[in-house]
Structure 1
Amino acid sequence: MSDSNEDEFVTDEFVPNEELFNLLLSMGLTKDKVTEALFCTGNESIEEALNYIFNSDEECMKYIGTNNEFIEEPKVPAERIENAARDENEGDCFYKMTFVVNSALKMGTGKLSAQVAHACLGLYRKMLLEGLKDALDNWEFFGEKKVVLKGIDHVHLQELHEKAKSANIPSYLITDAGKTQIPPNSVTALSLFGSEEEVDKITGKLGLL
């Protein structure tokens, strides 16, 4: 941290993973936030970087400057622990976030990863706006289960999206601008959130990617 400004994030010797850095930038995140997230999560995983970005305002994490060494693990707020424990005791179902990818587009690994990340961010933000933070807190506390499945094509993803909406299951459909690899306005990925039972009613018959 800078001596002149304790809030300033400084990584003089840190070089972010170029592929992950560019993928995160493509989601509309700032360079400073992307660099911080990659630095603080080991510079190896887009999933861990996104989790850090989601939770950085609530978690306390300490690091040793440019040595890139953890001092201690993230601190989970006491209120979140109490809420999650109460939910478990009351017999609530565990939540998961499921992603269905348009296999017909035959996207490369980087493109596909970016689309799934878009679907994750989009659904997370939508749920926050809709007042579903308690469900997200429960999901985060119990491991943030995520599953990526194979969809047939854009029609299939749109049909699943409509089924989710009819069942009151939070969902988010991604339509890509088509700047790389695929045509403009291509439907690339669908994200859904709910209990295991709820989500499996929509996507339970699909195969893993």
Structure 2
Amino acid sequence: MVDVTTPSMSANRTEMESLKNKKGMESGSKNGEFTANENFISAMVEFGYDRETCVKALFATQNQSVEAALEWLLENESEEDEEDSEAEDEPHKMVLVFNTSLGMGVGKVAAQAGHATLGIYRELISTAKHHESLALWEQYGEKKIALRAENEEKLISLQAAATELGLPSYLVEDAGFTQIPSGSKTVLSIFGSEESVNKVTGKLKLL
């Protein structure tokens, strides 16, 4: 059998294969930025993983498949558990930061505290990675601290700082049935280790 492949044809074939491989490696990317496969994320969430963990695993495996990402998580889970063990053993607390500019009455403050506590608690129990920290918090008396902030902008700033540190938070917006206008941001709840939470709210005064 005679090989009739010309140098030009061979070069084109090599270039096509190179482009194909590059396309496979960049699957799920836009403008050089990685974008996780949303279908894969949905499938992985059903196994109890939160979105952040799913994206991390898909990035590590370059969106190959759900199976590849899950295998990566299982292989790396023990290492992450060892790194997080010290943090998980630290005392945890929940802080409630109230917007004092609204001048809420005692009853209104109590109601908003309930909204903030239940709101963040529901988020914590719905995310697998927070279960151990939540159990530790419950074991040591479910510590809650009420603090004050001067206005709505301060609450927003505190929530941004908590998010940057990876701390769960919940910002309550009032329905406006009593005392204050609808949409008013009344109280922010933040949860995490005492050391981490103090980095966000340590300079605030008690309510």
Identity %: 47
Q: Distance in 1 between matches of 2:94 and 2:165?
A: 15
Question: CA offsets, 1:11-34, max 9 Å, x none?
Answer: xxxxxxxxxxxxxxxxxxxxxxxx
Check conservation: 2:87, 2:193, Cα contact below 8 A. no
Aligned to 1:116: 113
Q: Which amino acid aligns with 1:108?
A: G
SS in 2 for 1:192: strand
Residues 95-120 of structure 1 deviation map (CA, whole Å, 9 limit, x = unaligned): 00000000000100010011011000
CA distance in 2, matches of 1:143, 1:167: 24
Residue of structure 2 equivalent to 1:165: 163
Alpha-carbon distance between aligned partners in 1 of 2:91 and 2:85, rounded to the nearest angstrom: 8
1:186 is matched with which residue?
Answer: 184
The residue number in structure 2 matching 1:101 is 98
The CA distance in 1 between the partners of 2:204 and 2:187, in whole Å, is 14
TM-score, normalization by structure 2 = 0.57
Find the counterpart in structure 1 of residue 173 from structure 2: 175
Larger proportion of strand: 1
Q: Across the two proteins, how many residue pairs are aligned to each other? A: 123
Residues in 2 aligned to 1:90 and 1:162: alpha-carbon distance in whole angstroms: 21
Alignment match of 2:200 (pick from 188, 199, 202): 202
Q: Please give the per-residue CA displacement for 1:65-100, whole angstroms capped at 9, x wherever unaligned.
A: xxxxxxxxxxxxxxxxxxxxxx99998210000000
Aligned-partner SS, 1:118 = helix
CA 1:90 to 1:194, structure 2 compared with 1: closer, same or farther past 3 Å? Answer: closer
Aligned twin of 1:148: 146
Runs of 5+ unmatched residues, structure 2 = 1-83
- Report the alpha carbon displacement of residue 134 of structure 1 after superposing the two structures with TM: 1.5
Amino acid at match of 2:179: Q
2:158–2:200: 8 Å Cα contact kept in structure 1? yes
- Residue 135 of structure 1, CA deviation: 1.0
Give per-residue Cα distances to partners, 1:21-71, cap 9 Å, x unaligned. xxxxxxxxxxxxxxxxxxxxxxxxxxxxxxxxxxxxxxxxxxxxxxxxxxx
Give matches, 1:130-141, under 5 Å.
130-131=127-128, 132-141=130-139
How far apart in 1 are the matches of 2:111 and 2:191? 19
SS in structure 1 at match of 2:203: coil
Separation (CA, whole Å) in 2 of partners of 1:153 and 1:90: 32
Pair 1:88–1:94, CA change in 2 (3 A): farther
**Structure 1 stretches (4+) deviating beyond 3 angstroms?**
87-91
More helix by share: 2
Larger Rg: 2
Distance 2:186 2:133 in 1: 26
| Aligned equivalents of 1:155, 1:197: Cα separation in 2 | 24
- 1:6-17 alignment, distance < 5 Å: none
TM-superposed CA distance for 1:129, in Å, is 1.2
**TM-score, normalisation: structure 1:** 0.56
Would the alpha carbon gap of residues 179 and 200 (structure 1) be closer, same or farther in structure 2, given more than 3 Å must change? same
